[in-house]
Amino acid sequence: MQDKIRNQWEKNAEAFSDLIAGIGTPHHRSILNPCVEELVGDVRNKKLLDAGCGEGYLSRYYAQKGAKVTGIDLSERLIKTSQRLAEGANYIVTYRADDICHLESVTNDEFDIVLSNLVLLNIPCLESALREYHRVLKRGGHLVFSIVHPAFNFYGPGSWEMGEKDPESGRRQGLYFKVDNYFDEKEYERYWKTRKGEDFPAPISFFHRTLSTYLNALVKAGFSITEFREPLPIDNDEFFNREMRIPFFVVIKAEKT
């Protein structure tokens, strides 16, 4: 299974990097990242593991904030892109390829913070990953992770019933969100779209799980949940009309006690 996931991201590495464009999508910038940053807190002189770093834009961001950052990803191509984008910077980020389900390159109790941004929903090994996050954190360290909201997961069993395109926002109007088969935990394959609206070269695996599965897995791994957020857009831009009505993301902070 991990070979399948790795191959997906190797094929999609260029398209994904172009989509992120060093700053993230509008949904990242206006909904997810402000919430993540608030929960991560002050990173100065702290060791931060960006687990599933993609093209590394959050690794670079937190390194500029004063963290000692290590970014890991399953995709060698994404790691090479991350390294290239950090060349010549006035901060240091260490990037290397590794599997978050079996973190062979990370020692026990090494990090103050583990950040795992929109990663756990794309892997089959949730419990193994959480155990590894717990292992590599120092006692009292924190995990901050985000996922697409399981109850409103259009990468899984849900979908919007769409109306006409809004001339102001350029997005189709969401009439209502359809939810069904929420308890049916399984893998879905979905194509992401490029900035030009074309399909990525390969589909991406999304593993739909219930919210209770995520929370119980955290507790089983030895974490104490300290924050649970369903972030709203930070402004009233009509572009995010749908996201003002139902939550797009879940962000959770947990402590290694």
Confidence of residue 170 (pLDDT cuts 50, 70, 90): confident
Residue 196 within any structural domain of the chain: no
- Please count the structural domains in the chain: 1
Residue 87 within any structural domain of the chain: yes
pTM of this structure: 0.95
Q: How far is CA 212 from CA 115, 136, 220, in A?
A: 21, 24, 12
Instruction: Find the CATH number of the domain harbouring 11.
Output: 3.40.50.150
State in Å, rounded, how far the first CA of the chain is from the last one: 32
Residue 93 within any structural domain of the chain: yes
Residue 154 within any structural domain of the chain: no
Residue 164 within any structural domain of the chain: no
- Residue 86 corresponds to which tokens in the numbers above? 């950090």
- Average pLDDT of the residues in 60-66: 97
Residue 200 within any structural domain of the chain: no
Least confident of 136-150, 201-215, 229-243: 229-243
Residue 195 within any structural domain of the chain: no
Q: Which domain holds residue 30?
A: 2-148+212-256
pLDDT at 143: 98
Residue 94 within any structural domain of the chain: yes
Which DSSP string corresponds to 121-165? GG-S-HHHHHHHHHHHEEEEEEEEEEEE-GGG-TTTT-EEEEEEE
